[in-house]
Amino acid sequence: MNFRLAALLALLGVALAAPISNDEIAEKSSQGLRLLSLGENVEPVWKSEDEKLDLMRKGIKFFDVTEVYELEQKLPKGKLNAVAAFPAISHQSAVNPLLSQISIPNMQANLATLTAYNNRYYRSSTGADSAAWILSTVKSIASASGRSDVTASAFTHSWVQSSTIAKIAGKTTGPVTILGAHMDSINLSNPTNGRAPGADDDGTGTVNLIEIFRVLVQSGFKPTTPVEFHWYSGEEAGLLGSQDIATSYKNARTQVKAFMELDMTGYYKPGSKEVMAIQADYIDDSLNTYLKSLITAYSRIPWTMDIACGYACSDHASWYKAGYPGTFPYEAVTGNDDPNVHSASDTTSITNFSWNHSVEFAKVGLAFVYELAI
């Protein structure tokens, strides 16, 4: 390579790597602009709220990094796997009786409450109200148990809808096993005021997690390593809540054993084979292998691999970006999944909604937590 070419490349490298300054972020975000990351190794770009909504209507996925960009720049890159390997499945005799305590009527009742909010958009008042209901529901489960090792609290953000985090302490302080789902919903034609029941997306994952938490807490489950349940704000608007939390965990040097997302568990296209579709990208390969063995051990439904979901697909991507191992079983292979999402028609009254399907994801989620943390 000659000197001039090397100099040119060095210059280009500097230009590409130059981070967006904190002053620029403060100024642009005060004007209502949002900083969006549309791909890996691509500098994020500023968009207005209207431009951002247009991208969402076109089905273009992104991380909205406005709040986390500054902190992300300061943190080291690279993988943060806390354990070298995941254990073999070995607790069926303890887990199976717990699976039979998972109640479809409980999940139905909780979903009826969630879908009754006009929407659960992260910037709407009903979005904030629905978050407060989730927090008070899991707090009641914690306090009814009388256990000091079980707690629930809000994780507040710079917008009105807080995320919720419930914890079952371990005998040791880490690494943490996390189950996640997103609490927010969206009506793409009118996010703030439009009707968005969000029954499947992601009311199902939300109530699966509440029910798993209830069964584990009431059964007296005392893990060796800590367990957390996360209900994220603002997933639909660019994975806002999960990025805020994953970045803060990384900043606090929190060790994470494994993360699993449940986002949509209640539908598969009539006539198609009933499966759990495992996400193929932005996940941890060894955790995916582990998930396959969990599904085989604990569900009547077989696993299959989904087609690639792509960049910034759901909350697991926030954990992946932070370097943590994540996995994500989905209701169906993409294309056979719920066509009613992000609209007023995402309800449980669609004829093809199936609790029988959704409960299988609750079983796998409970087994994931038990087997990894006991």
Contact positions vs ligand NAG (CB under 6 A): 187-190, 194-195, 270-271, 300, 343-344, 350-352, 356
Selection from ligand NAG, Zn ion, none that 346 binds (CB < 5 to 8 A by kind) is none
What does 263 interact with, of ligand NAG, Zn ion, none (CB < 5 to 8 A by kind)?
A: Zn ion
Minimum CB separation of residue 151 from Zn ion in Å reads 26
How many residues bind to Zn ion according to rule CB under 5 A? Answer: 3
* Centroid of chain to Cα 16: 30
* DSSP string of 317-349, one letter each residue: HHHHHHT--EE-EESSSTTSS-TTTTSTT-STT
* Pairing of the two strands 329-330 and 276-278: antiparallel
In angstroms, the CA 262 to CA 364 distance is: 10
With CB under 5 to 8 Å by kind, the binding choice for 201 among Zn ion, ligand NAG, none is: Zn ion
Task: Pick one of ligand NAG, Zn ion, none as the site partner of residue 202 (Cβ within 5 to 8 A by kind).
Answer: Zn ion
SS3 assignment, position 41: coil
For 204, the token pair is: 């199902």
Sheet with 276-278, side-by-side order of all strands: 303-305, 276-278, 329-330
Of 127-186, which residues contact Zn ion (CB under 5 A)?
none
Closest contact distance (angstroms) between CB of 200 and ligand NAG is 11
CB under 5 to 8 A by kind: which of ligand NAG, Zn ion, none does 189 bind?
ligand NAG
* DSSP assignment string, 169-233: --SSS-PEEEEEEE-----TT-TTTS----IIIIIIHHHHHHHHHHHHHHTT---SS-EEEEEES
Closer to ligand NAG by Cβ: residue 79 or 300: 300
- Find the shortest distance in angstroms from Cβ 232 to ligand NAG: 22
For position 201 contacting Zn ion by CB under 5 A, the verdict is yes
- Written as six digits, the tokens of 365 are 């989620």
Contact assessment for residue 262 and residue 180, using Cβ atoms and an 8 Å cutoff: yes
Check binding of 200 to Zn ion (CB under 5 A): no
Nearer to Zn ion, 130 or 254 (CB): 130
What does 356 bind: ligand NAG, Zn ion, none (CB cut-off 5 to 8 Å by kind)? Answer: ligand NAG
Asked if residue 315 binds Zn ion (CB under 5 A), the reply is no
Residue found by looking up tokens 């790597």 in the block: 17
Q: Looking at beta carbons only, is 161 or 254 nearer to Zn ion?
A: 161
Residue type, 166: A
> Distance between alpha carbon 304 and the CA centroid of its chain, in Å?
20
| CA–CA distance, 129 with 161 (Å, rounded to integer) | 8
Q: Which residue is nearest to ligand NAG (CB)?
A: 194
- What's CA 236's distance to the chain center, in Å? 11
Query: Which residue's CB is nearer to ligand NAG, number 267 or number 324?
Result: 267
Least distance CB 99 / ligand NAG (angstroms): 11
Q: Which of 64, 72, 263, 315 is in the footprint of Zn ion by CB under 5 A?
A: 263
Interface segment toward Zn ion; rule CB under 5 A; list 77-85, 96-104, 258-266, 270-278: 258-266
For the CB of residue 352, give the shortest distance to ligand NAG in the complex, in Å.
4
Query: Distance of alpha carbon 12 from its chain centroid, rounded?
Result: 36
Using rule CB under 5 A, residue 337 touches Zn ion:
no
The interface partner of residue 103, options being ligand NAG, Zn ion, none and the CB cut-off 5 to 8 Å by kind, is: none
- Residue 103 CB, shortest distance to ligand NAG, in Å, is 14
Nearer to ligand NAG, 194 or 310 (CB): 194
204/200 Cα distance (integer angstroms)? 5
Smallest distance from ligand NAG to CB 111, Å = 17
Distance, in Å, from the CA atom of 78 to the CA atom of 327, rounded to the nearest integer, reads: 18
Residues that bind Zn ion (CB under 5 A): 201-202, 263
